[in-house]
């Protein structure tokens, strides 16, 4: 056991992105399984449902902080940018009609609200004046041109917020989409739930419009799907290899046909190698299929003699 602990402490075979807490949990599971089954058990990197929920919660928190920092950076320059816009005589800025600016701004606000992100309080006084600007449909007057330039500042700030949010939640949104396509009508709503109420804690599964439950409510097949999708992006390096043996276990035949497609969406630059007995798993990936047949395997021609076997047994 001391050798295994030393291996874990030295970080051999451990992905660099794992936190010290995750490493300790992995070490505990590995030591426990090797105590039960023997030293041949590899590093136990497969996460539990609780660990998946904790990791998702932490990633949501990091993403929210990233978005908040981007918002502060964008809003800190709004006042000076408005003054610059008022003073500007650049024809390109003044040439965009106020109505077009307002349409873009409403579209950006709708994008933020659909994701569950609250509209920053700094924008509220500005939003209350939008309706009063409807009459400035052209940019031919000095007043309309000035308003158009000011609106461009807020449009740019909102675009920065949308971009920052998309980037911060990109991996989580991909994971959420794959889970929802496979587990429908059950669904995850990670980003919206987190943005609406950061104090929610561990993520929940939406059973219907009113009912949310923890991951423990999932069936064995649903848990298998959640673990496979999560592990494909969190248990290896960003350009590593994902090895999966018999992913069809506990999966309905419809899930078997879809699981590899969804895994490739999670994998990024990782290579996925799957061993399966299910024709459904490989049905949509014939171009990547490699068949293994018994006649391709040649048994070894040499065997240890009885004396060597006896010596081996006596030495144990």
Question: Distance (Å, rounded) from C-alpha 60 to C-alpha 267?
Answer: 19
Using the predicted structure, report yes or no on whether residue 118 has a pLDDT greater than 60.
Answer: no
Dihedral pair phi/psi, residue 28, rounded to 5°: -60, -45
Percent of the chain scored above 90 by pLDDT? Answer: 7
Under 8 Å between Cβ of 161 and 76: no
Q: Give percent above pLDDT 70 in the chain.
A: 68
Is the C-alpha dihedral spanning 75, 77, 82, 88 positive or negative? Answer: negative
Could you tell me if 230 and 262 are in contact, meaning their C-beta atoms sit under 8 angstroms apart?
A: no
Q: Which residue matches tokens 């349409």?
A: 103
Q: Are strands 241-245 and 271-275 parallel, antiparallel or unpaired?
A: parallel
Residues 6+ apart with CB under 8 A from 127: 109, 119
CB 66 within 8 A of CB 36: no
Residue 19 has pLDDT above 70, yes or no: no
Which residues share a beta bridge with 274? 244
Listed in sequence order, the residues at least 6 apart from 128 whose beta carbon sits closer than 8 Å to its beta carbon are none
What pLDDT is stored for residue 152 in this prediction?
79
- Which runs of E-coded beta strand occur in 167-284? 187-188, 205-206, 212-213, 241-245, 271-275
The residue written with tokens 């939406």 in the block is 206
3-state secondary structure of 300: coil
For 61, 70, 133, 217, 267, the CA distances from 199, given in Å and listed in that order, are 10, 21, 38, 21, 30
**Domain residue spans of the chain:** 2-45, 77-168, 170-290
pLDDT, one tens digit per residue, over 265-301 is 888 778 888 888 888 888 888 888 887 776 666 666 6
The most confident of 9-13, 14-18, 39-43, by mean pLDDT: 39-43
- Secondary structure class of 263 (helix, strand, coil): helix
Name the 3-class secondary structure at 269.
coil
Q: Which residues pair with 110 in a beta bridge?
A: none
Which of the four pLDDT bands, split at 50, 70 and 90, describes residue 178? very high
Q: How far apart are CA 267 and CA 262, in angstroms?
A: 9
> Tell me: the pLDDT tens digits for 214-269?
898 999 889 989 988 988 877 666 677 788 888 888 888 889 989 988 988 888 77
d(CA 266, CA 171) in angstroms, rounded, equals 8
Domain 170-290 has CATH 3.20.20.70: no
Query: Which tokens go with 275?
Result: 């061993």
Alpha helix locations (H) across 11-141?
A: 20-37, 49-76, 78-87, 91-94, 98-114, 124-127
Task: Quick: pLDDT tens for 57-101.
Answer: 988 889 888 888 887 877 777 767 777 766 766 655 555 677 777
């Amino acid at each position: 056991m001391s050798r295994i602990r030393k291996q874990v402490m030295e970080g051999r075979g451990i992905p660099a992105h794992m936190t010290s807490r995750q490493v300790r949990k992995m070490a505990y599971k590995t030591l426990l399984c090797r105590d039960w089954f023997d030293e041949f058990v590899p590093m136990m990197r497969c996460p539990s449902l609780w660990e998946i929920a904790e990791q998702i919660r932490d990633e949501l928190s990091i993403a929210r902080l990233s978005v908040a920092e981007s918002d502060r950076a964008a809003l800190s320059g709004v006042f000076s940018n408005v003054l610059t816009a008022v003073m500007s005589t650049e024809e390109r800025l003044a040439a965009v009609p106020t109505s077009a600016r307002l349409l873009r701004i409403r579209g950006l606000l709708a994008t933020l609200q659909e994701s569950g992100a609250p509209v920053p309080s700094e924008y509220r006084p500005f939003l209350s004046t939008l309706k009063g600007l409807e009459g400035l449909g052209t940019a031919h007057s000095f007043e309309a041109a000035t308003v158009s330039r000011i609106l461009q500042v807020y449009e740019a700030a909102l675009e920065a917020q949308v971009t920052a949010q998309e980037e911060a939640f990109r991996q989580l949104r991909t994971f959420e989409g794959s889970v929802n396509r496979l587990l429908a009508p059950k669904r995850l709503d990670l980003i919206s739930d987190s943005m609406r109420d950061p104090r929610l804690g561990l993520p929940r599964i939406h059973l219907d419009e009113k009912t949310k439950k923890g991951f423990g409510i999932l069936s064995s097949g649903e848990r298998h799907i959640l673990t496979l999708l999560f592990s494909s992006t969190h248990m290896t390096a960003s350009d590593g290899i994902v090895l999966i043996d018999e992913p069809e276990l506990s999966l309905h035949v419809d899930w078997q046909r879809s699981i590899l497609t969804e895994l490739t969406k999670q994998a990024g630059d990782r290579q996925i190698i799957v061993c399966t007995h299910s024709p459904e798993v490989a049905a949509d990936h014939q171009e990547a299929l490699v068949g293994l047949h018994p006649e391709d395997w040649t048994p070894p021609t040499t065997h240890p003699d009885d004396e060597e076997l006896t010596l081996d047994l006596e030495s144990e």
